[in-house]
Amino acid sequence: MQNSDSTNKRILGIDPGTKRVGLAVSDELGITAQGLDTHNIKTDEAFKLFLKDLLARYNIGVVVLGMPLSMSGGEIEGTERSRELASFIERECGARVELVDERMTSLEAERVLREQGRIREAGDIDRLAAVLLLQGYLDGLKR
């Protein structure tokens, strides 16, 4: 199954944070999500330049961006940051953004990695959270 934007366009998953960003990219058919190296944020401007390059390098058509919410579903500090990042991506990078609830992705990623004894560094959780976020989106496209 190809994603709906166009042939060979990939989908990028982003698990945003203030210090680190988990990243995952789909295969060209939009079936599976693979984790990319976690990106450490030094400055907002440097991160935006990194992101523009990443979207161009992987030919990204859609970005699935985690939107932090409280456990009750209300907005929290990170919610507005995700909206601002979504606006930047659409305006400056030309990709469509899908904001998705990310409440449980980091907890699920940490649980999976702990069970497997595979947490080596903080970025491992962020990377797997991005994979889970993107894979959930890709699975939803199949339905």
pLDDT in tens, 4-51: 445 579 999 999 988 999 999 999 999 999 999 999 999 999 999 999
CB atoms within 10 A of CB 139: 12
- pLDDT above 70 covers what percent of the chain? 92
Domain hosting residue 102, numbered range: 10-142
| 4, part of any domain | no
| 57, part of any domain | yes
Count the residues in the chain: 143
Helices 122-142 and 105-116, interaxial angle, to 10°? 120
For residue 117, is it left (φ>0), alpha (ψ between -120 and 50) or beta? left
Is the separation of the CB atoms in 26 and 10 below 8 Å?
yes
Cα 116 to chain centroid distance, Å, stands at 22
More confident residue, 57 or 115: 57
| 3, part of any domain | no
pLDDT number for residue 2: 42
For the chain, the domain total comes to 1
| 117, part of any domain | yes
Lowest mean pLDDT among 37-51, 58-72, 83-97: 58-72
CATH at residue 58: 3.30.420.140
Is the separation of the CB atoms in 64 and 137 below 8 Å?
yes
Minimal CA–CA distance to 127: which of 10, 32, 33?
33
Residues 92-115: tens digit of each pLDDT: 999 999 999 887 777 788 788 878
